[in-house]
Structure 1
């Protein structure tokens, strides 16, 4: 494959977006688009890129899964010893991106991540498949490992340990809720004339301001 991608392009023809199409609340608008993404059969409609800044000022992204949504924010879960958790503890300002390419759409969220309560995290953990619970115990997320066989051996050791009962909630694992401050909805348009609308939190009015952005 050549390294020249300048000629690769396609037109975005899935449909336009206007202010009249949008809900008053960006959370309601997101829920509508997420429902449409699910109905369209996207393979991972709840997958989102989480961007953080580490203690050396370096940005990093990774895909995590949306596991909860309310007016309070967007929820995901992780190991508190992971790189993402360490970055959030140092700088809680993060960004989320939902790349719904098949619908010529993307949603970008900027906000502040905050640890969820132990009770909230426990409720979700206990609903997970047993093997996922064990994997949470087995992996020292983001830490180096000499070979995969060591991880698999740790998984089997934990299967044996918890064979006779429930898998307890690890104290090093839990949820973060991203409290949104800005949410942008992007709809691809023909000839690169995309439609972009950004909601910004208006703390004085306890609501949201909406503005249209040039593509």
Structure 2
């Protein structure tokens, strides 16, 4: 691979990362068009760079090509949600069960996400609330101190956001989780990882059930 190609791949990865963060932040929603010409202007990138970034999002399950419409942010279904939670149980529970007593910086990162969610709740900004909650769970996986797993879980967080956005009322869906995030953090701070893992397992069971019910509900007329 020559230097020119390496630079091109680096730029494409950067654009893909920014698009992924826009999904996690709720700024790109399922069904939205990802128009090459608009992205070229937005990111001051070449069409080839943008195209490679969109291919990367497609490989990650975040974008899909729709005939006669182009590339669009993907809509996820029941099978994808079940698979997401299989991954979440594998990574988040493993991270907690094998965690050592939290270092101050690890606790601070989790608290920053929790406090961000509290502020978003006060503003009734439920989109931001969901983003902070996802960041909390990214910090849980971060306990394993694996950059590769961190990068992989960022994609899982983005897919979770795509499912969140399908809720008729994001407030009703998001509100119950804040106290549970804080409880898990407090158990980890107290050096009680087994109890934290039990709390997280119950959390994930309830979250998956709620999302499957959401996706199974009949569409409004």
> Shared topology, TM-score over 0.5?
no
- Structure number with the higher helix fraction is 2
Higher Rg: 1
